[in-house]
Amino acid sequence: MFRSLCAATTSVLTTVFTILSFAETAHAGRRQTSARQSPGAASTRQLTLFLDCQSCYADYLRSEVTFVDYVRDRTEADIHVLITRAETGAGGSEYTLQFMGARTFDGVNYTTRTVTLSSDTDDVIRRQLATAVRVGVLHYLSRETLPAGLAVNVRTGTEEDRPAVAGDPWRNWVFSLRGSASFDGEETRRERELGADFSADRITPDWKATFGVEIEHSIEEFDLDEEEPVHAERRERDFQWLVVNGLGEHWSIGATGDVESSTFDNIKLSISAMPAIEFNVFPYSSYTRRQLRLMYGAGVESNRYYETTLFGEDEETRPRHEVSLAYEQREPWGSLQARTEWSQYLHDLSKTRLELEGELSLRVARGLSVAANVSASRIRDQIALPARGATDEEILLRIRRLQTGYEYNVGLSLTYTFGSIFSSVVNPRFGQ
H helix or E strand, kind and range, residue 392: helix 392-396
Q: Which long-range contacts (CB under 8 A, 24 or more apart) does 137-144 make?
A: 137/47, 137/49, 137/65, 137/67, 137/68, 137/79, 137/99, 139/99, 139/110, 140/47, 140/78, 140/79, 140/99, 140/101, 140/105, 140/108, 140/110, 141/47, 141/67, 143/105, 143/108, 144/42, 144/43
Alpha-carbon distance of 235 to 264, in angstroms, equals 8
Which one-letter amino acid corresponds to residue 20? L
Give all strands of the β-sheet with 93-101 in edge-to-edge order: 68-70, 47-52, 79-87, 93-101, 109-116
Tens-digit pLDDT string for the chain (432 aa)? 444 544 544 454 444 344 334 334 444 444 443 333 333 444 456 889 999 888 888 888 888 888 888 888 888 889 999 998 888 777 788 898 999 998 888 889 989 888 888 778 888 888 899 999 999 998 888 877 776 677 777 665 544 444 445 567 888 888 899 999 999 999 888 999 999 999 999 888 889 999 999 999 999 988 877 677 788 899 999 999 999 999 989 999 999 999 999 999 999 999 999 999 999 999 988 887 889 999 999 999 999 999 999 999 999 999 999 999 999 988 878 889 999 999 999 999 999 999 999 999 888 877 788 999 999 999 999 999 998 888 877 777 778 888 899 999 999 999 887 877 777 666 666 665
Q: Which of 105, 106, 126 is nearest to 116 (CA)?
A: 126
Integer Rg of the chain from CA = 32
Task: Report yes or no on whether pTM surpasses 0.85.
Answer: no
User: Any alpha helices (H) in 52-166, and if so which ranges?
Assistant: 58-64, 122-141
Alpha-carbon distance of 398 to 264, in angstroms, equals 8
DSSP 3-state of 139: helix
Which DSSP string do the residues of 413-425 spell out, in sequence order? EEEE--S-SB---
